[in-house]
Chain A
Amino acid sequence: MDYAASRSAQTKFYLLAGLGALVSAIGVGAALYMEHHGHAVTGMNNQVVWGLPHVFAIFLVVAASGVLNVASIGSVFGKTVYKTRGMLAGLLCFAMLAAGLVVILLDLGRADRIMVAATHVNLTSVFGWNMILYPGMFGIVVVYLWTLMEKRMYPFSKPAGFAAFIWRLLLTTGTGSIFGFLVARQAYQSAVIAPMFIIMSFAWGMAVFMIVQKAMYLWNGMSLHPQIRARLKNLLAVFVGAVFYFVAVYHLTNAYFAKQVEFERFILLDGGIFPLLFWGGWLFVGTILPLILIFAPGLANKAGSVTLASLLVIVGAFCQLYVFIIGGEVFPLDIFPGMTASSSFFDGRIDQYSPSLPEFLLGMGGIGIAFTMVVVGVRVLKFLPEDNIAKLEAAGALAD
């Protein structure tokens, strides 16, 4: 690399890192504003207790777990094409997990009591389990990255990868079970939520990975080998299809139970923004369009198609989480079945939730934190996935 090119890369790096730091700082500023004035400045209330920050945070945490799938396929199942991508997947996992946790923590009513949360763990609480699962994930990913980067540690990359594989399944089970264990509200209390979150993590993590990889290749003037792209995009399609299956099962079982019919009608038909986001956002934009982009003749082999499909999967993910979290909360609790209820506490009424700017900025701050960590990480260490095509072809690894 000549001097001019090196300087240009340096400038680009500072620009990107600066942008990420700015977005992160705005997010932290928004959190401080919420901390000072209280949650009165948010759209959240006593019915919708978790809002837009939680949509962002849960996306980041779930995608963080799933992005490691790429690494697992390499280290656990021995696929060479994925092995070269393990380090980048590990970095993305670490960055998104950290960012998601920061958003959740900054949204707490008493974020200053973080040490209380760390030192008082109630083990009957799914949140309590997560207090163990999240830090554990950080530790395992760091060790895993070490085994991938340090030559003397190479022999340990398989067990470390296996530990990461098991741990992230537990982690996402924990995230899904935050909702799955709730009996109070119609939207939750379903055992299918935990596996649904796991498969959602696979799809979203894969989509994030594809976009980051594309950006890095563009930055380095490289391109992905068409056969490798074909394999990665097919895997993304399988995950998107599997998410569709789980979401369908979740809604069909609900629609079958008489006590859940009103809730399903709300989410799927007459709930205003929620059916729109469900059918238009998640199903059409986030599921059908990506599958068309991945499989339609004429589109499937274009490099841009896979990137666009990945972006749309992420858009669909946000729509899906908004419907699941906010839609599930605005629907009133059925405290007195068979009766209509009314009160000064808005019993029996469908709540209106309008996210405020600080909430959005806090969520974006999380994206900014993940972005900054990744930009700095790929600049200072060697995370770029580089395929030795000749070697792969010779070994037949591209054909299987």
Chain B
Amino acid sequence: MNAPDNKRRALLAAAGAGAVAIAPGIHLIQASLADEAGTKLASSKVRWGMLIDTTKCTSDCKECVSACNAENGIVEEVADPRQRSQWIRKIDLVEKRTGRQHSLPMMCQHCANPPCVDVCPTGASFKRADGIVLVDRHICIGCRYCMMACPYKARSFVHEPLTTQNPEMPRGIGCVEACTFCVQRIDRGQKPACQEACPQGAIVFGDLNDDNSDIAKRLKEVASTQVRAELKLDTGVRYQGI
């Protein structure tokens, strides 16, 4: 699963400064593994993913958003709504020609080839061995280049000082943040909060690499879509019904 990513990175790095560039990438993955010591180590045999059935998702339901905010301590009230953090949001869509309506949750798509990781100057944006794309809040300098690069507008910048963080999910002023697939829950063997909260059961979460997982079976049965598939980012989040 990681092979195309490595090739692409090597090519970009060679264009920039030669093959030496691969070293920091390896270092980052090792660092993230070390960070997990004591709990469950992220494994490259796993690729976490999500399938969202938009035909079950209704416009007025925002349970996934509330659950995400509660789980990750996103409770601050920034005066300008455009400056508020939104790790997951509900998007209402109307097909221009037919008027057909859809509603779906949008969040970090946990790409196999994430543009945010490519552009991050310090390596704060990184992809864990199990495919989860994260921001290391210790080395994020708040340049927002990843927000320019994300094709899904999935990242938020913390515009104000925070005092109400959830100890399990470090957040802070001046850093960029996004959906983590509730990494703290995954490492405990649980599923993301949004998946558990969805009253319609529209979200399936699991290991894309495991043929016996619910998500892998469903993806074999139903037609699914990667948003902005033409960018070939190989997203971990797939949609059904759009």
* Chain A residues packing against B (C-beta within 8 Å): 37-40, 44-47, 49-50, 108-111, 113-114, 116-117, 120-132, 178, 181-185, 329, 333, 335-336, 338-347, 351
A181 contacts across to B, CB distance below 8 A: 119
Residue among A114, A121, A185, A336 with the highest chain B CB neighbour number at 10 A: A336
Among B13, B120, B176, B227, the residue within 8 A (CB) of A109 is B176
B82:A335 contact, CB within 8 angstroms:
no
B144-A49 in contact (CB<8A): yes
Task: Tell yes or no: B115 within 8 A of A by CB.
Answer: yes
CB of A117 within 8 A of CB of B121, answer yes
Given contacts A38-B159, A38-B174, contact A340 B91 (CB under 8 A): no
Q: Which of A49, A117, A130, A345 contacts B86 (CB 8 A)?
A: A345
Known: A108-B174, A122-B120, A127-B121. A340 touches B93 (CB 8 A): yes
| Cβ-based interface call for B16 (8 A) | yes
Please list 5 pairs of residues, one from A and one from B, whose beta carbons are closer than 8 Å in the complex, sorted by A's number.
A37-B161, A38-B160, A45-B80, A109-B176, A120-B121
Partner pick for B152 among A40, A47, A121, A335, CB 8 A cutoff: A335
Q: Are A45 and B228 in contact (CB under 8 A)?
A: no
B92 touches A40 (CB 8 A): no
Q: Are A184 and B242 also in contact (CB < 8 A) when A38-B174, A50-B144, A345-B153 are? A: no
Partner of A342, one of B16, B17, B92: B92
Residues of B within 8 A of A108 (CB): 141-143, 174
Question: Given that A38-B173, A131-B121, A335-B228 are known contacts, is A184 also in contact with B141, CB under 8 Å in the complex?
Answer: no
Closest to A347 in B: B91
Interface hits, B189-210 → A, CB 8 Å: none
In the complex, what residues of A have CB within 8 A of residue B96's CB?
338-340
Q: With A and B bound together, what is the CA distance between A120 and B176 in angstroms?
A: 17
> How distant is the Cα of A45 from the Cα of B81 in the complex, in angstroms?
9
Q: Which 4 A-B pairs have the closest CB atoms?
A: A109-B142, A109-B174, A123-B21, A127-B121
Q: How far does the alpha carbon of A40 sit from the alpha carbon of B62 in the complex, in Å?
A: 26
Asked whether any CB of chain A lies closer than 8 Å to the CB of B169, the reply is: no
Select the residue from A47, A111, A181, A343 with max chain B CB neighbours within 10 A.
A343
State the CA gap A132–B85 with chains docked (Å).
32
Contact status B119-A127, CB under 8 Å: yes
Task: Give, as a whole number of angstroms, the nearest-CB distance from A190 to chain B.
Answer: 14
Please give 20 more A-B residue pairs, beta carbons under 8 A apart, in addition to A38-B174, A49-B144: A39-B83, A40-B159, A46-B85, A108-B143, A121-B121, A121-B122, A122-B123, A123-B24, A124-B12, A124-B117, A125-B120, A132-B17, A181-B119, A182-B149, A183-B151, A183-B231, A333-B153, A336-B227, A336-B242, A344-B86
Q: Is the CB of B91 within 8 A of A343?
A: yes
Which residues in B have some Cβ–Cβ distance to A below 8 Å? 9, 12-13, 16-17, 20-21, 24-25, 78-86, 89-97, 102, 106, 115, 117-124, 139-145, 147-153, 155-161, 173-176, 227-228, 231, 242
Query: What residue of chain A has the Cβ atom nearest to residue B83's Cβ?
Result: A45
Question: How far, in Å, is A129 (CB) from chain B's closest CB?
Answer: 5
Distance in angstroms from B154 CB to nearest chain A CB is 9
- Could you say which residues of chain B place their CB within 8 Å of the CB of A123? 13, 16-17, 20-21, 24
Contact between B157 and A343, CB atoms less than 8 A apart: no
A50 vs B142: C-alpha distance when bound (angstroms): 11
Bound Cα distance A45, B13 (Å): 31
For residue A48, which residue of chain B has the nearest CB? B82
- Taking the nearest CB of chain A, how far is it from the CB of B127, in angstroms? 12
Say yes or no: A343 contacts B148, CB within 8 Å. no
Which residues of B have CB within 8 Å of A132?
17
- Our pick among A116, A185, A346 for the contact of B141 (Cβ within 8 Å) is A116
CB distance from A114 to the nearest CB of B (A): 8
Contact A110 B175 (CB under 8 A): yes
Given contacts A129-B17, A340-B96, is CB(A109)–CB(B151) below 8 Å? no
- Choose among A111, A114, A345 the residue with the greatest number of B CB atoms under 10 Å from its CB: A345
Q: Which of B20, B86, B122, B157 contacts A122 (CB 8 A)?
A: B122
- A49 and B148 in contact, given A127-B119, A339-B93 (Cβ under 8 angstroms): yes
How many Å from the CB of B230 to the closest CB on chain A?
9
Residues in B whose Cβ lies below 8 Å from that of A114? 141
* Bound CA span A113–B175, Å: 11
Say yes or no: A120-B147 contact (C-beta < 8 A), given A339-B95, A340-B93, A346-B82: no
- Identify the closest chain A residue to B142 (Cβ): A109
A343 CA / B145 CA spacing, docked (Å): 23
Q: How far is the CA of A347 from the CA of B117 in the complex (A)?
A: 23
Tell me the nearest residue of chain A to B90, going by C-beta.
Answer: A343
Chain A proximity of B216: nearest CB distance (Å): 26
**Residue from A37, A47, A178, A185 in contact with B160 in the complex, judged by beta carbons closer than 8 Å:** A37
Q: Which residues of A contact B145 (CB under 8 A)?
A: 125, 127, 178
The one of A39, A113, A124, A344 that contacts B16, using a Cβ cutoff of 8 Å: A124
Q: In whole angstroms, how far apart are the Cα atoms of A123 and B17 in the complex?
A: 7
Residues of the B chain whose Cβ atoms lie less than 8 Å from the Cβ of A329: 148
Q: Is the CB of B106 within 8 A of A343?
A: yes
Known: A40-B160, A45-B83, A113-B139. Is A124-B174 also a contact (CB below 8 A)? Answer: no
- Contact yes or no, B174 A110, CB < 8 A: yes
- Find chain B residues with CB under 8 A from A178 CB: 145
Least distance between A183 CB and chain B CB atoms (Å): 6
Alpha-carbon distance A60/B92, docked complex (angstroms): 42
